[in-house]
Structure 1
Amino acid sequence: MNPARLCQAIAACAIPIVSLSGSISTASAQQPTVIEEIVVTGSLIRRDSFDSASPLTVVGQADIANNATPNLGEVLVNQTFNYGSDFQTNTFAARPQIGTTTAANLRGLGAAATLNLIDGRRAGGNLNNSLPQIAIERIEILKDGASAIYGTDAVAGVVNLITRQDYRGAEFSVFQQQDKGGDLREQQYEFIAGAETENGHITMAMGYKTRSTLEHLDRPRFTREGFQTSGTGNPGVWLVPTRDEDGNLTGQSARLRDPGCGAATAQSPGGGDIGQKGNFLSGDPRNAIEFALGLPPGAAGPQTCSLHFGEFWNYVNPNDQLSGWVNFRHQLTDNLSNEIDFQANRLKTDSRGTPQNPGGRIEEFPTVLGDHPGNPFRALNADGEPLYAMDDGSGNPARDDSGNVILSAAPTDPSSGVPFNEDVNVVELRALGKLGLLPGANQPRNLNPDGSNTGNATFDSTTYRLVNSLRYTVPDSTWEVGLTGILSNTRTVLEAKNSSQSALVAGLRGELSVAPESDPTGAEGLRFWNPFSTQALNCENRVCEHTGTPDFANEVAVLDAIDIQTNNVTDTLFWSANLLATGDIMEMPAGTLQGAFGVEYRRTRIDEDIDDARNRCDWHEGGCGFDWRADQDIYSGYFELAVPVIDRLDLTLAGRYEDYGGGIGSSFDPKVSFLWQPMDMLSVRGSWSSAFIAPSLTQQFESENCGLETMEDELTADFSGSFRVACVRGNPDLSPESADVYNIGASIRLLDGDLTLGVDYAVYDFEDRISQETGNNVLRANFNDFLAAGNDPDSQADIDAWIATMEPRIFRDPTGVVSRVLVNRVNAQEMKHKAWDFFGRYNLSLNGWGDFNFTLNATYIDQFSFDLGTGDPQDRGDGAGKQNEQVAEIPPLPKWRVNGTVNYFLGNHAATLRVRWIDSFELQFNSAGLQTLHGLRGGSDSVSSITYVDANYRYTFDRLLGDRSTTLEIGANNIFNEFPDPFFNLGGIETFVHDVRGRMAYLRLSQEL
């Protein structure tokens, strides 16, 4: 079979498939739901009830609305068994969070371990913007391995969005919410319409939502008490030659901060308060330790010039999202039906960040000569007296054959020669900082008025998805045969900032060619780039001040040449063909044996167009990046059998064979599950399955991609927790992750069905977890190798020799400080996760006084053990009840999460009260140095438990506008405006767990049309 031709034929003939997940049909938009024969998530066989041998959570339309959020991903975040989904922004944390592409992360096993479906069909990784929320009937969440049914990725479970395909009528909805202080606002506008056609049904929906920005300084308490200090600032730190009392070079150099560092703090609008904008515009002479503990400069380490970056970050990134959906079903004949499902969505999001990031190829920088017009390092003798050099005849200092300045006969006598500055080498420097905000200085035109630049999450993503399905019912039988074709395409344009390495080097030499607006021809000659404080200050004899007329301001054209904005374009194409037959096989003594049999072909292709600057290796931070393309073909065969063993005991057997070819190979994954109902009130269920996750194309073939991490280096005793660059590339030798998944559970119905109680116990046993090393993993392994080779950590000679010859994956500046680390993706991890889920529901009717519905859901994590396979004790342990920041693949895991909800209904009135309790957890920073500082500042070893309370009230007007109903709802999430205590880490709050927004009050209006 030629798969490409098969897919082309399917698309050309518009042949669709049977839906893998049936829907709940509704007679009208107002009538109650009637359950017919359906397909429940986790099975391919149509049944007449929701009874499932696997643990299934159903989030209905009302439950979705009660979450009161335009962000569908936040509905998943609020499920007690979901851990580590990003719904806020913390792009430079150890586990970066964008907050606009929230994906399910069932059990905290990673977004890649949860398969996303729409009406039972593969939907890609991000459901957050896939459909207008008004188009969703319910969300079915399977908390069990399902690779035997759906294939790769369905390890932790499945999230299946069921749409309102049978909706009749029209409805418009408006939702608006904002936080207590009005800093953050969100709006959502949605419309749905559906109608019967001559031989079918059509439904369409559209949605638009927009969100404003919540900056770090909108929550100044977390900024002030969190970590937001970088030792790589602008102005920077330099290696400056030292001289003796006579002015002669000693042959040694001193690490000195730019003399203008901190000189303009008094002129900064925010002064020295990092909770205000425009703080420390000329840098802070204290390092992170000194700032955190209130120590003077130099008390805890060598000289530095820090930049406080908190004012440039967001907690919530702004975005605009537009989505549309159309579903058309047509009965072609009595036995043949056709369904076309089309979705389109676009997400545009912006982000903020520092003017330029730290970390870069400073080892390639030239020596900055003393004749650089901005050089503030006046040559001084050991007594601090200014020195003078022989005049070379043109007013410049004369130099010998080695390039050293020749002192005058009386080097401290001003009349004996000309003044000169030292030749210096950079130690720490970011290309752009806050100096450009000072009066008299300049900024690149691309920067925002507050000095911020593009962050790490500015992108524009557009997705189109077409599903075309055909279902044939075999006459005089229970068998149905379906053929489905899916075509999906996503284009993402990621905007990124960086500095041009070639412009930086040329600018330091005075060889930068620019075409300023004042001289488009560039005839004025070559330019210098001034990296020193003299771009904004006046310096004399290494003493600087701000006068408003700097010594040598950078031209805007120079800064524009350095600050580059690039677009990376990624196209992801997915198509599949699936043939499925389901029906009754035979009668058995205890009932009917049912089966489902199918074959599937899938193809995924990724084409990434890296920006021209990285193609030319012109990125200062990260270096090179090259275009790449990869594709993958997958062939599958699968089955499912529903076997009635005895009365009230059903056994389900399923299996799936998938062939990936190449280095991945093939896999067969079986699943065995049972449902035993010994009496009407009691159900017992259990399952075992093997499951797998194939490495993604990005994990296998991506070209080098670099980002920032906080790192510490035991070899050089660098425990500052400063940002360094970590670069990773694809590994084509990765093997699939594999897991054995077990579940056992029971539920009981009491009080004539008004009370339901249940419990499930789940075990996930992983092998070959695909793990991306952190920079700290590499640095710790390097130090352990250093010790294992018999070296002395107190011997500088041993350290220097090791750095010179034994570190192929570690790059350092001239003083030995780490600047960049190459990290790998490897099959290294073993993990075992054990958890308990508890649920209860009670319906209480007070007759004429209304009806109550009480629900309780809770999850307890019993174990989340891991072993990265490195042999390092820090790379193994149990993550339950801990923050787990040092292991990228494990999110924060509070042991307990509990949600309790009370719903009240009386006629047209309805109200909801929900309580969400999150257990305490032990802090475990990626940086041991930062955690030590947190303790020295009086911080606790753990984050206390927290309780969020949500409430709403809604009233339905039957005939407010004509004969159509109108529903008005008001409410708030976190009505008591609860916040956790800050801690001394990035952002000051664990945004995977806690909500930095505070109270969010909302208003919703829904109008039938």
Structure 2
Amino acid sequence: MKGSFTKSAIAWSVATAALTTSNALHSQESARQTQAVEEVVVTGTYIKRKSQLDTSTPLRTYGQDEFSAAGIKDARDLIQSLTINAGSQNNADNLTQNFTAGTSNINLRGLGVSQTLVLLNGKRQVVSSVVTDQGSSFVDTASLLPNLAIERVEILKDGASAIYGSDAVAGVANFITRDTLDGTELQIERRSRSGNGSQDDTNIDFAYGGDLGETGHVLFAASYLDRTSLLLGEVDFLRPATSGFGNPGSYTLSSTGETVPDPNCVENGGIDGGAFCRFDFGPQVTAVPEEERLQAFARSTWDWDETTQVWAEFGYARNKVTREVSPSFPALSTPTVLASHPDNPFGEDVTFLGRPYGVGQPTELNFYEHTTTRFAIGAEGEVSDSVSWNFSFVRAANDAILNPRDVIASNFQAALNGFGGINCDPTTTAAGEGECLYFNPFSIDDPDNDALRDFIIGDYLGDTESELDAIEFIVSGNDLFELPGGSAGFAIGAQYRDESVSAVYDSITQQDGFSFLIGNQNFSGSRDVYGIFGELLLPVSDTVEISAALRYEDYGGSVGDTTNPKLSVLWAATDSLSFRFSGSSSFRAPSVHQLQGAQTNFANISDPNNNGESTFGGNRTLGNPDLAPEESNAFNLGASYQLGAWDIDLDYWDFSFEDVLTRESLVDVVNADPNDPERVVRTSAGTIAIVNTQFINAESIDTSGIDLALKATYDTNLGTFSPIFDATYVLDYEFTSGGVTRDGAGALNFNTVGNPTPELRANLGLSWSRGIHNANVFVRHVSSYDDNRDPENIESIDSFNTLDLQYSVDLGELIRSDSSTALTFGVINATGENPPFVDVAGSYDSRTGDPRGRRIYVKAAFSF
């Protein structure tokens, strides 16, 4: 049975007691309000409860008030602030987030962006049709719904495959909508970078909620984002990031095999690099791309009769992304400049090592468009006073149009041979005659070169799509039989999912016709998943409650089936002290892309044959139908204590993974044998052109740590003060890659199956309110960590500390008598801290640091 607990783990968990009766980051007033409402389903269980505070697993909730107080504007900002998140790919730089530019994802515990299940009102969402550079599928959190439509986000910090199935390995993020909004809200915000360089966000958010007839309710929300770009050439923390492929370029002589720089390298703006004329591409790396994002969401509920309610949801998101890149990418196709070329100073055939456009040329533009649609319907009702049912159907799709631009290898070679130009006919015209032009790589200002740009640089076009159909039926009850602590509860259900992905590329891309991006192949794949599951809630005494869950899923084919259990225990030791324990096994099947997809991207590769110097090269990965599922065990042991005004929450968590699904580390492939012609394909000059990798089951990942959260509220004559503290400390983060086990805690873990893992992340905040005035201060800390790419020369990466400030004033009925107006002024990263330096192209770790610097914002909010 895949993913099952060991017998000893089960025996130990049955004997262990623990749980929290309070969420440490919820105020006492919030708890009282929550307990006054009717029973609801909360994240992590299908059994209805009075409140999420009764659950036996660690759950963190973020509401609209917390978003506003912390200056959080979208999912990316929320994820960036989470201490339990590590390694999300939300900074759309040119080097680590390529086809996924404009998307965001969550990475709980640094276990991978595929390991956290993202739900919308408790139901699944389609994964993005583009995958990360590592080949991981994820839900694009930027496409879920407008910010004003969100009531709260519940994050389950525990394995939940026994409840929700595959992907809930590291936890669950459940976005829940504002089903009780009554009225209209409008927010307009301008957020601008202050300091060197400019970058602006203009946000317009709208939400309306109201009655639909006498028995229904409707929620409609829309948002619009206009975001301008930020190039690293505008910031002051960038250090040179050079490539041996520039223009002016370098040449390999056919007579001797010697590589020499362009004779006019330095004079024409190149950088002397010995045998190579180097090009600094760092200033053209996009830290923040230009975006135009439109989102809309609608949800309606109707009371069908006294015991049945039906609902329907519709969501739409479109994000158009424009990103600047180098004037042209390196031409890794080893083009040849013939001795007959009229500008060839060498008098013999030479191989050109460079790019057609470099120094002094304008940046090139890449375009991406992500569109997500989602339709869901459902109904829920009561069979009796104690038994209810729930049915839902979800259909969702994500479509991405990819249009990076690159050098067409055959056209560039033709232009070097004197047959360049759209109207050139090499069968009737001699080289360099008529409309047939020579491209001159020895000059940076030859007018023929400019005339050939549209002939040499072409559109790499791709259309990828991901689809999801999901049907779920659940029956639950809270009066199964009586126990000393009360009535036992239960839930049973079944789920069917149809998942598919596909990609179609233009003919040049399919034929690997580009010099740098190479190409990609068309593919399509799909699968059906069937699951049945059940839960049992046993209040064995007034102070002890045991919950158990079991889920069976069948994927068919080589993946097969799995059965996963979860056990959790609550012990309310006193009125102010409680403990919790939860233990589970989890299972994540290979994604459809990992089984049947194809992916080619580029990477910064350290070459042992060239003194470890970095170069750009292609990384090609094909789906592997023989992949096995990954399996894991997880447990959480926690305690909660109320000490006067303080709520204190402490958790110890542990995750152990086997057969981890990932793409092979290209570093491991190159270092294992840098001269393997099948895996490491080199140009005629000896530089790396392509590294061939595959999706594999790596050996293991083991991580553990501690979460600590504190919150209090004090009412004084000076106003109400609410201090909070939230921290995560990673005790252990070990992973095995390429047969080598690494200690990744407090390390960068670049280009491996691991993620950047600073040992400590912490947030310290203080909120104050008095009358119409509110103010908030947040200090955020990410500890220093090591650049461990070279075990013989480990460099320290500095800590990252930021200060956020905010003040808001409620202007009351400024607009009209039945309205409310509020103005908010704030600054993110008030001290203007730069992300810590890391010796990679771009000069910072894009999965940990934030390149946006100090950002000042002004927001006007209207309610009526």
Aligned pair partner of 2:597 in 691, 694, 702: 702
1:87–1:66 Cα change, 3 Å = farther
Q: What SS does the corresponding residue of 1:780 show, helix, strand or coil?
A: helix
- The answer as to 2:456 corresponding to 1:527 is no
1:668-699 Cα offsets, whole Å, 9 max, x none, are 11100111112221111101101111111111
Looking at structure 1, the residues matched to 493 and 723 of structure 2 have their Cα atoms a distance apart, in angstroms, of 41
Looking at structure 1, the residues matched to 240 and 664 of structure 2 have their Cα atoms a distance apart, in angstroms, of 23
1:850–1:369 Cα change, 3 Å = closer
Deviation of 1:260 after TM superposition, in Å, equals 2.4
1:612–1:49 Cα change, 3 Å = same
1:414-459 Cα offsets, whole Å, 9 max, x none, are xxxxxxxx22221522233236x4xxxxxxxxxxxxx11134xx31
- The answer as to 2:698 corresponding to 1:828 is yes
- The answer as to 2:562 corresponding to 1:667 is yes
- Which residue does the alignment assign to 1:75? 78
- Which residue does the alignment assign to 1:490? 398
1:817–1:961 Cα change, 3 Å = closer
Contact 2:548 2:567 in 1 (8 A): yes
- The answer as to 2:718 corresponding to 1:849 is yes
- The answer as to 2:418 corresponding to 1:563 is no
Deviation of 1:834 after TM superposition, in Å, equals 0.4
- Which residue does the alignment assign to 2:681? 811
1:93-114 Cα offsets, whole Å, 9 max, x none, are 5x76966312111111111000
- Which residue does the alignment assign to 1:393? none
Looking at structure 1, the residues matched to 120 and 246 of structure 2 have their Cα atoms a distance apart, in angstroms, of 48
- The answer as to 2:389 corresponding to 1:481 is yes
- The answer as to 2:781 corresponding to 1:765 is no
1:115–1:359 Cα change, 3 Å = farther
Looking at structure 2, the residues matched to 943 and 370 of structure 1 have their Cα atoms a distance apart, in angstroms, of 49
- Which residue does the alignment assign to 2:282? 310
1:290-343 Cα offsets, whole Å, 9 max, x none, are xxxxxxxx3xxxx11111101211111111111111111011111221100111
Contact 2:634 2:654 in 1 (8 A): yes
Larger radius of gyration: 1
- Which residue does the alignment assign to 1:894? 758
Deviation of 1:32 after TM superposition, in Å, equals 7.2
Deviation of 1:71 after TM superposition, in Å, equals 2.7
Looking at structure 2, the residues matched to 494 and 67 of structure 1 have their Cα atoms a distance apart, in angstroms, of 34
Which residue identity does 1:743 align to in structure 2?
A: N
- Which residue does the alignment assign to 2:125? 123
Aligned pair partner of 1:375 in 333, 344, 347: 344
1:309–1:600 Cα change, 3 Å = same
Aligned pair partner of 2:205 in 190, 194, 203: 190
Which residue identity does 1:705 align to in structure 2?
A: T
Deviation of 1:705 after TM superposition, in Å, equals 1.5
- The answer as to 2:759 corresponding to 1:756 is no
- Which residue does the alignment assign to 1:380? none
Q: What SS does the corresponding residue of 1:432 show, helix, strand or coil?
A: coil
- Which residue does the alignment assign to 2:584? 689
Q: What SS does the corresponding residue of 2:502 show, helix, strand or coil?
A: strand
Equivalences for residues 159-174 of structure 1 within 5 A: 159-174=173-188
Deviation of 1:150 after TM superposition, in Å, equals 0.6
Q: What SS does the corresponding residue of 1:128 show, helix, strand or coil?
A: helix
TM-score with structure 1 setting the length: 0.77
1:529–1:74 Cα change, 3 Å = farther
- Which residue does the alignment assign to 1:382? none
- Which residue does the alignment assign to 1:945? 799
Deviation of 1:38 after TM superposition, in Å, equals 1.5
- The answer as to 2:376 corresponding to 1:467 is yes
- Which residue does the alignment assign to 2:325? 353
Contact 1:167 1:195 in 2 (8 A): yes
Deviation of 1:252 after TM superposition, in Å, equals 3.4
- The answer as to 2:853 corresponding to 1:1004 is no
Which residue identity does 1:527 align to in structure 2?
A: C
Q: How many residues align?
A: 812
Aligned pair partner of 1:506 in 404, 408, 414: 414
Contact 1:343 1:466 in 2 (8 A): yes
Looking at structure 1, the residues matched to 419 and 857 of structure 2 have their Cα atoms a distance apart, in angstroms, of 57
Which residue identity does 1:776 align to in structure 2?
A: V
Deviation of 1:766 after TM superposition, in Å, equals 0.4
Equivalences for residues 146-185 of structure 1 within 5 A: 146-181=160-195, 183-185=198-200
Q: What SS does the corresponding residue of 1:747 show, helix, strand or coil?
A: strand
- The answer as to 2:859 corresponding to 1:859 is no
Please provide the CA RMSD for this pair. Answer: 2.4
- Which residue does the alignment assign to 1:107? 109
- The answer as to 2:363 corresponding to 1:452 is yes
Equivalences for residues 38-437 of structure 1 within 5 A: 38-50=40-52, 51-93=54-96, 100-124=102-126, 125-181=139-195, 183-197=198-212, 198-219=214-235, 221-223=236-238, 226-240=239-253, 252-264=256-268, 280=269, 283-284=270-271, 286-287=272-273, 298=274, 303-358=275-330, 360-362=332-334, 365-366=335-336, 368-377=337-346, 422-426=347-351, 428-434=353-359, 437=361
Looking at structure 2, the residues matched to 827 and 193 of structure 1 have their Cα atoms a distance apart, in angstroms, of 48
Looking at structure 1, the residues matched to 849 and 417 of structure 2 have their Cα atoms a distance apart, in angstroms, of 49
1:623–1:981 Cα change, 3 Å = closer
Looking at structure 1, the residues matched to 409 and 835 of structure 2 have their Cα atoms a distance apart, in angstroms, of 42
Deviation of 1:832 after TM superposition, in Å, equals 0.3
Which residue identity does 2:42 align to in structure 1?
A: V
1:607-631 Cα offsets, whole Å, 9 max, x none, are 2111221123322235443211111
Looking at structure 1, the residues matched to 248 and 642 of structure 2 have their Cα atoms a distance apart, in angstroms, of 69
- Which residue does the alignment assign to 1:651? 546
Segment drifting more, 807-816 vs 49-58: 807-816
Looking at structure 1, the residues matched to 355 and 835 of structure 2 have their Cα atoms a distance apart, in angstroms, of 33
Segment drifting more, 666-675 vs 986-995: 986-995
Which residue identity does 1:833 align to in structure 2?
A: T
1:22-49 Cα offsets, whole Å, 9 max, x none, are xxxxxxxxx9775431111101110012
- The answer as to 2:778 corresponding to 1:920 is no
Deviation of 1:842 after TM superposition, in Å, equals 1.2
- Which residue does the alignment assign to 2:618? 725
1:359–1:730 Cα change, 3 Å = farther
1:138-195 Cα offsets, whole Å, 9 max, x none, are 1110000000111111011000111101111111111111121361111111111111
Looking at structure 2, the residues matched to 535 and 101 of structure 1 have their Cα atoms a distance apart, in angstroms, of 36
Q: What SS does the corresponding residue of 2:142 show, helix, strand or coil?
A: coil
1:529–1:615 Cα change, 3 Å = farther
Looking at structure 2, the residues matched to 163 and 352 of structure 1 have their Cα atoms a distance apart, in angstroms, of 36
Deviation of 1:239 after TM superposition, in Å, equals 2.7
Identity %: 28
Structure with more strand by fraction: 2
Contact 1:129 1:321 in 2 (8 A): no
1:227–1:828 Cα change, 3 Å = farther
1:979–1:200 Cα change, 3 Å = same
Looking at structure 1, the residues matched to 586 and 37 of structure 2 have their Cα atoms a distance apart, in angstroms, of 31
Deviation of 1:737 after TM superposition, in Å, equals 1.3
Higher relative contact order (CA 8 A, sep 6+): 2
Contact 2:248 2:443 in 1 (8 A): no
1:203–1:316 Cα change, 3 Å = same
Looking at structure 2, the residues matched to 463 and 134 of structure 1 have their Cα atoms a distance apart, in angstroms, of 18
For structure 2, the 5+ residue unaligned runs are: 1-31, 127-138
Deviation of 1:491 after TM superposition, in Å, equals 1.1
- Which residue does the alignment assign to 1:641? 536
For structure 1, the 5+ residue unaligned runs are: 1-30, 242-250, 265-279, 288-297, 378-421, 438-450, 537-549, 784-802, 936-940
Which residue identity does 2:407 align to in structure 1?
A: S
1:97–1:557 Cα change, 3 Å = closer
Which residue identity does 1:240 align to in structure 2?
A: L
Contact 2:39 2:48 in 1 (8 A): yes
Looking at structure 2, the residues matched to 355 and 961 of structure 1 have their Cα atoms a distance apart, in angstroms, of 50
Looking at structure 2, the residues matched to 917 and 781 of structure 1 have their Cα atoms a distance apart, in angstroms, of 37
Q: What SS does the corresponding residue of 1:81 show, helix, strand or coil?
A: coil
